[in-house]
Amino acid sequence: MWQAVHDKDWNQVEAHLAPLFVGTGPRGEAHDRANWIEYWKKAQIQDFSLGEFNVQSSGTDMVTSYVLHLTGADAAQTIPAKGLRVISVWQELKRGWVLVSQSATPIL
Check residue 29 and report its DSSP letter.
-
CB 24 within 8 Å of CB 103: yes
pLDDT of residue 31: 95
**pLDDT confidence of 3, banded at 50, 70, 90?**
very high
Half-sphere exposure of 85 (CA within 13 A, CB side): 5
Q: Is residue 77 part of a domain?
A: no
Q: Residue 103: is its pLDDT beyond 70?
A: yes
**pLDDT confidence of 76, banded at 50, 70, 90?**
very low
Q: Residue 61: is its pLDDT beyond 50?
A: yes
Mean pLDDT of the chain: 89
Neighbouring residues of 40: CB distance < 8 A, sequence distance ≥ 6: 5, 13
Q: Is residue 78 part of a domain?
A: no
Number of domains in the chain: 1
Residue 30 neighbours by CB distance under 10 Å: 10
Q: Is residue 8 part of a domain?
A: no
Q: Is residue 94 part of a domain?
A: yes
In the chain, DSSP finds a helix count (H) and a strand count (E) of: 4, 6
Q: Is residue 75 part of a domain?
A: no
Q: Is residue 4 part of a domain?
A: no
Instruction: Name which residue leads in pLDDT, 101 or 71.
Output: 101
